[in-house]
Structure formats: structure tokens, C-alpha cells
Amino acid sequence: MSYEHEHELEFAKVGQPVPEFKMETYDPEEGFFGEVNLGELRKQGKWVVLFFYPADFTFVCPTELADLAARHAELKELGVEVISVSTDTKFTHMAWKNDERLLQDVRYTMASDPTGIVSRYFDVYDYDTGLALRGTFVINPDGMLVSSEVNFYNVGRNADELLRKMKANVYLRENPNEACPAKWEPGKKTLTPGEAMVGKVYEALNG
């Protein structure tokens, strides 16, 4: 994995573009090692979900990756490229995938960030342990970071909520003048912000 101008990087910020980068990978579906290139995914018009986790062969992590695998097909239908990331090597990813039964349905790319460069950019790198916190980041097809979530080591995430947020992000990209309220699902009412709605959100949602 490499950045062209690593020394110039700041932390990732929601609403700001993400620089192009590469990481070595293990592809569980094909059984091959490879490389993921954010620039290439951008050219393909992909949404990208980076799913950072602390380490292979640990405890909460396989439950999270299994949960994500259960929603992977639906995310792919939305045009999302799912990439799990830890500071382990691609070789460890392969061994863990083959050993841990919870990972039997994992088909998405498993990326390796052994130097912690990508983890540091997304501000999930723990300098005391050399591991990444549980961070989920959504990058839109224009290369902009549109969502950021970070948990500590002991709290696992919910892929159902990630899927819900991805549906909202995809809808809003096609309908930029609207906004999605809490717990929005496709088919439910959205909001169109404007002077007439100030102090009248209840009426807008229940009218």
C-alpha cells in the first residue's frame, strides 16, 4: 500500500475527498492475493466501504465480519465495494479465513495495512498496540468521505445499520435536494429542507 505524498496527509474528514491509495489484499472468493486500488474503484463508479477491525484470530472481529458477509450481496447490488482492513498481513488473512468457521461466507476483499498508513489516515490507528479500532468509512463514487463511525475494541458493529445508511446515501446521491430522517428506509418519506419546513418537520413527516 502506498500514498504518493504521505508526508502531506491529514486525517480523513467527512465531506472531504479521500486521496487515492493501494493496499495488498487476499480475495477469499478467488483464493488469490492481489491489490485494491481506490483510484480504479473510483473510475468504476463504485461506492467503497472500508471496514477496519483490530486483528485476525481474535474474538469480536469474526462475528463482525460474518455479520457483514450476511449483508454483502445487498451491498453489492447498491454498487458498493466492501473492503475489510486490519494491520495483519495478507498471509494471516488467508490463514484466518481458512481456519475460522464464522468466516465461511466471507466473499469480500480482505486488505492488509501492516504499516498502519491507511489506519492512521482514517484516525483509527492505536499507537499503543499497532492495531486499528473498529472503524467504518463510506466513500462515494466521487471519492468523497460521506460517513465515519469508530468504535472501541469491545463493541461490535451492526451491518444492518450500515446497509440502511448505504441505501440512504445512494438515494440522496440521486436526489440531492432531499434529506433522510432518522431510521429512514426506502419507500418512507424524506425531507426537502426549506423555509416552509422550519419548525414544521412533524407536519412534513405526518402530513
- Evaluate whether 117 touches 85 at the Cβ level (below 8 Å): no
Residue keyed to cell 488469490: 32
Helix (H, G, I), strand (E, B) or coil at 24: strand
Q: Round to whole Å and give the CA distance between 128 and 54.
A: 12
- Beta-carbon contacts of 126 under 8 Å, excluding residues fewer than 6 positions away, are 132, 133
Residue at 17: amino acid letter:
P
- Evaluate whether 134 touches 53 at the Cβ level (below 8 Å): yes
- Beta-carbon contacts of 40 under 8 Å, excluding residues fewer than 6 positions away, are none
Residues 41, 61, 69, 170: which is the catalytic one? 61
HSE of 40, CA atoms in CB hemisphere, 13 A: 6
HSE of 197, CA atoms in CB hemisphere, 13 A: 13
180 is catalytic: no
Continuous segment of H or E residues that includes residue 26: strand 22-27
- Evaluate whether 7 touches 19 at the Cβ level (below 8 Å): no
Catalytic annotation, residues:
61
